[in-house]
Amino acid sequence: MLDAPMIDPRELRNAFGCLPTGVTVVSMLDEAGKPTGVTVGSFTSLSMSPALCLFSIGKEQASARLFTEGAPFVVNVLSTELADLAWQFAKPLEDKCAGVDLTESLVQAPRLNDAIAHFACHAHAIHDGGDHIIVVGEILGFDHKEGDALIFYRGQMQTSAPL
Ligand SMILES: Cc1cc2nc3c(=O)[nH]c(=O)nc-3n(C[C@H](O)[C@H](O)[C@H](O)COP(=O)(O)O)c2cc1C
Protein backbone atom coordinates (compact mmCIF):
# COMPACT_ATOMS: atom_id res chain seq x y z
CA MET A 1 0.00 0.00 0.00
CA LEU A 2 1.28 3.50 -0.83
CA ASP A 3 1.90 5.98 1.98
CA ALA A 4 -0.14 9.20 1.80
CA PRO A 5 2.03 11.92 0.20
CA MET A 6 3.66 14.33 2.68
CA ILE A 7 2.02 17.76 2.75
CA ASP A 8 4.50 20.63 3.17
CA PRO A 9 2.54 23.28 5.13
CA ARG A 10 4.57 26.19 3.66
CA GLU A 11 3.92 24.97 0.11
CA LEU A 12 0.24 24.37 0.87
CA ARG A 13 -0.04 27.93 2.19
CA ASN A 14 1.63 29.23 -1.00
CA ALA A 15 -0.74 27.19 -3.15
CA PHE A 16 -3.79 28.46 -1.26
CA GLY A 17 -2.37 31.99 -1.79
CA CYS A 18 -2.68 31.60 -5.59
CA LEU A 19 -6.39 32.30 -5.19
CA PRO A 20 -7.05 35.95 -4.25
CA THR A 21 -9.49 36.67 -1.43
CA GLY A 22 -11.36 39.75 -0.34
CA VAL A 23 -10.38 41.20 3.03
CA THR A 24 -12.85 41.70 5.87
CA VAL A 25 -12.70 42.56 9.55
CA VAL A 26 -15.17 40.60 11.66
CA SER A 27 -16.01 42.81 14.66
CA MET A 28 -17.68 41.82 17.92
CA LEU A 29 -17.60 42.46 21.67
CA ASP A 30 -15.24 40.46 23.88
CA GLU A 31 -16.28 38.83 27.17
CA ALA A 32 -15.82 42.19 28.95
CA GLY A 33 -18.04 43.98 26.42
CA LYS A 34 -15.06 45.71 24.78
CA PRO A 35 -15.03 46.09 20.96
CA THR A 36 -12.57 43.82 19.19
CA GLY A 37 -12.17 42.22 15.79
CA VAL A 38 -10.16 39.95 13.56
CA THR A 39 -8.99 40.23 9.94
CA VAL A 40 -10.65 37.48 7.90
CA GLY A 41 -9.97 36.53 4.28
CA SER A 42 -12.05 33.37 4.31
CA PHE A 43 -15.40 35.16 4.25
CA THR A 44 -17.79 34.02 1.55
CA SER A 45 -21.48 34.14 0.70
CA LEU A 46 -23.39 30.92 1.43
CA SER A 47 -27.19 31.06 1.10
CA MET A 48 -29.84 33.51 -0.09
CA SER A 49 -32.84 32.07 1.76
CA PRO A 50 -32.14 31.99 4.61
CA ALA A 51 -29.45 34.70 4.19
CA LEU A 52 -26.22 33.03 5.34
CA CYS A 53 -22.51 33.68 5.06
CA LEU A 54 -19.46 31.83 6.39
CA PHE A 55 -15.82 32.18 7.31
CA SER A 56 -13.23 30.06 9.09
CA ILE A 57 -11.22 30.93 12.19
CA GLY A 58 -8.15 29.10 13.49
CA LYS A 59 -8.91 27.25 16.72
CA GLU A 60 -5.81 28.86 18.28
CA GLN A 61 -7.03 32.42 17.59
CA ALA A 62 -8.19 34.36 20.64
CA SER A 63 -11.47 35.22 18.91
CA ALA A 64 -12.40 31.56 18.23
CA ARG A 65 -13.85 31.21 21.73
CA LEU A 66 -16.14 34.22 21.22
CA PHE A 67 -17.63 32.63 18.10
CA THR A 68 -18.08 29.19 19.67
CA GLU A 69 -19.87 30.90 22.56
CA GLY A 70 -22.31 32.40 20.04
CA ALA A 71 -21.26 36.07 20.04
CA PRO A 72 -23.06 38.13 17.37
CA PHE A 73 -20.73 39.83 14.87
CA VAL A 74 -20.49 42.22 11.93
CA VAL A 75 -18.53 41.33 8.78
CA ASN A 76 -16.98 44.58 7.46
CA VAL A 77 -15.73 44.48 3.85
CA LEU A 78 -12.57 46.60 3.51
CA SER A 79 -11.74 48.96 0.66
CA THR A 80 -8.23 49.65 -0.63
CA GLU A 81 -8.13 52.80 1.57
CA LEU A 82 -8.46 50.57 4.66
CA ALA A 83 -5.42 48.31 4.15
CA ASP A 84 -3.87 49.62 7.40
CA LEU A 85 -6.92 48.31 9.29
CA ALA A 86 -6.41 44.86 7.78
CA TRP A 87 -2.92 44.72 9.33
CA GLN A 88 -4.09 46.29 12.61
CA PHE A 89 -6.77 43.62 13.16
CA ALA A 90 -4.34 40.84 12.18
CA LYS A 91 -2.05 41.65 15.16
CA PRO A 92 -2.52 40.44 18.76
CA LEU A 93 -2.95 43.98 20.12
CA GLU A 94 -4.36 44.80 23.55
CA ASP A 95 -6.73 47.36 21.99
CA LYS A 96 -7.33 46.32 18.37
CA CYS A 97 -9.91 49.07 17.82
CA ALA A 98 -7.65 52.02 18.80
CA GLY A 99 -8.34 54.90 16.43
CA VAL A 100 -11.03 53.00 14.50
CA ASP A 101 -14.31 54.74 13.64
CA LEU A 102 -16.91 52.39 15.19
CA THR A 103 -20.68 52.70 15.42
CA GLU A 104 -23.46 50.50 16.75
CA SER A 105 -25.02 47.91 14.47
CA LEU A 106 -28.28 45.95 14.36
CA VAL A 107 -26.72 43.27 16.57
CA GLN A 108 -24.75 43.46 19.82
CA ALA A 109 -21.50 44.10 17.97
CA PRO A 110 -19.75 47.24 16.69
CA ARG A 111 -19.30 47.99 12.99
CA LEU A 112 -16.44 49.74 11.18
CA ASN A 113 -18.01 52.85 9.73
CA ASP A 114 -15.71 53.18 6.70
CA ALA A 115 -16.20 49.64 5.35
CA ILE A 116 -17.82 49.34 1.89
CA ALA A 117 -20.26 46.63 3.03
CA HIS A 118 -21.52 45.43 6.41
CA PHE A 119 -23.27 42.17 7.27
CA ALA A 120 -24.71 42.09 10.81
CA CYS A 121 -25.02 38.46 11.90
CA HIS A 122 -26.11 36.10 14.59
CA ALA A 123 -24.23 32.80 14.87
CA HIS A 124 -26.26 30.23 12.92
CA ALA A 125 -23.94 27.22 13.23
CA ILE A 126 -20.35 26.34 14.10
CA HIS A 127 -18.78 23.39 12.27
CA ASP A 128 -15.48 21.64 12.78
CA GLY A 129 -12.91 22.31 10.06
CA GLY A 130 -9.68 20.60 11.09
CA ASP A 131 -7.51 23.21 12.84
CA HIS A 132 -10.21 25.84 12.10
CA ILE A 133 -13.84 26.29 13.01
CA ILE A 134 -16.32 27.18 10.28
CA VAL A 135 -18.61 29.98 11.45
CA VAL A 136 -21.95 30.23 9.65
CA GLY A 137 -23.68 33.57 10.22
CA GLU A 138 -27.32 34.41 9.69
CA ILE A 139 -27.46 37.88 8.13
CA LEU A 140 -29.99 40.09 9.95
CA GLY A 141 -29.10 43.29 8.10
CA PHE A 142 -26.61 44.58 5.57
CA ASP A 143 -25.62 47.65 3.55
CA HIS A 144 -23.08 48.51 0.90
CA LYS A 145 -21.64 51.52 -0.92
CA GLU A 146 -19.24 52.37 -3.76
CA GLY A 147 -15.54 51.60 -3.35
CA ASP A 148 -12.75 49.31 -4.53
CA ALA A 149 -12.52 46.12 -2.48
CA LEU A 150 -9.16 45.30 -0.93
CA ILE A 151 -7.69 42.02 -2.24
CA PHE A 152 -5.14 39.71 -0.57
CA TYR A 153 -3.11 37.79 -3.13
CA ARG A 154 0.16 35.84 -2.79
CA GLY A 155 0.82 37.42 0.60
CA GLN A 156 0.23 41.02 -0.47
CA MET A 157 -2.57 43.58 -0.37
CA GLN A 158 -3.75 44.57 -3.84
CA THR A 159 -6.46 46.63 -5.49
CA SER A 160 -9.45 45.17 -7.32
CA ALA A 161 -9.06 47.34 -10.44
CA PRO A 162 -10.98 45.97 -13.46
CA LEU A 163 -9.12 44.61 -16.53
C1 LIG B 1 -5.40 39.23 4.80
C2 LIG B 1 -5.56 38.35 6.03
C3 LIG B 1 -6.56 37.40 6.07
C4 LIG B 1 -6.73 36.58 7.21
N5 LIG B 1 -7.73 35.66 7.22
C6 LIG B 1 -7.90 34.88 8.32
C7 LIG B 1 -8.97 33.93 8.35
O8 LIG B 1 -9.78 33.82 7.42
N9 LIG B 1 -9.09 33.15 9.47
C10 LIG B 1 -8.22 33.26 10.53
O11 LIG B 1 -8.38 32.52 11.52
N12 LIG B 1 -7.20 34.17 10.52
C13 LIG B 1 -7.03 34.98 9.45
N14 LIG B 1 -6.03 35.89 9.42
C15 LIG B 1 -5.13 36.00 10.59
C16 LIG B 1 -5.80 36.75 11.77
O17 LIG B 1 -6.32 38.01 11.36
C18 LIG B 1 -4.77 37.02 12.91
O19 LIG B 1 -4.17 35.81 13.30
C20 LIG B 1 -5.41 37.71 14.12
O21 LIG B 1 -4.38 38.19 14.98
C22 LIG B 1 -6.32 36.81 14.92
O23 LIG B 1 -6.90 37.60 15.95
P24 LIG B 1 -7.39 36.97 17.33
O25 LIG B 1 -6.20 36.23 17.91
O26 LIG B 1 -7.81 38.18 18.14
O27 LIG B 1 -8.51 36.06 17.05
C28 LIG B 1 -5.86 36.73 8.32
C29 LIG B 1 -4.83 37.70 8.27
C30 LIG B 1 -4.69 38.51 7.15
C31 LIG B 1 -3.59 39.56 7.13
pLDDT digits (tens, 9 = 90+) for 25-65: 999 999 999 999 999 999 999 999 999 999 999 999 999 99
92 part of a folded domain: yes
93: Cβ below 6 Å to ligand 1?
no
61: Cβ below 6 Å to ligand 1?
yes
Residue 161: is its pLDDT beyond 90? no
The 3-state DSSP class for residue 113 equals coil
What is the number of structural domains in the chain? 1
Closest residue by Cα to residue 78 from 161, 138, 159: 159
12 part of a folded domain: no
117 part of a folded domain: yes
Tens of pLDDT along 82-116?
999 999 999 999 999 999 999 999 999 999 999 99
Report the separation in Å between the CA atom of 46 and the middle of ligand 1, taken as the mean of its atom positions. Answer: 20
33 part of a folded domain: yes
> For ligand 1, atom 18, which residue shows the shortest CA distance?
90
15 part of a folded domain: no
CB distance 79 to 125 below 8 Å: no
The vertex-115 CA angle with 74 and 53, nearest 5°, equals 40
8 part of a folded domain: no
Give the chain's mean pLDDT.
96
CATH code assigned at 101: 2.30.110.10
Tens of pLDDT along 131-159?
999 999 999 999 999 999 999 999 999 99
11 part of a folded domain: no
What per-residue confidence (pLDDT) applies to 146?
96
Cβ-based burial of 63 (10 A; exposed 0-12, middle 13-18, buried ≥19) = buried
- In the chain, what percentage of residues exceed pLDDT 90? 94
- What is the model's pTM? 0.96
Helices (H) and strands (E) in the chain, counts: 3, 12
What per-residue confidence (pLDDT) applies to 85?
98
Which residues lie across from 133 on neighbouring strands?
57, 128
86: Cβ below 6 Å to ligand 1?
yes
Which residues form the domain of 79? 21-158
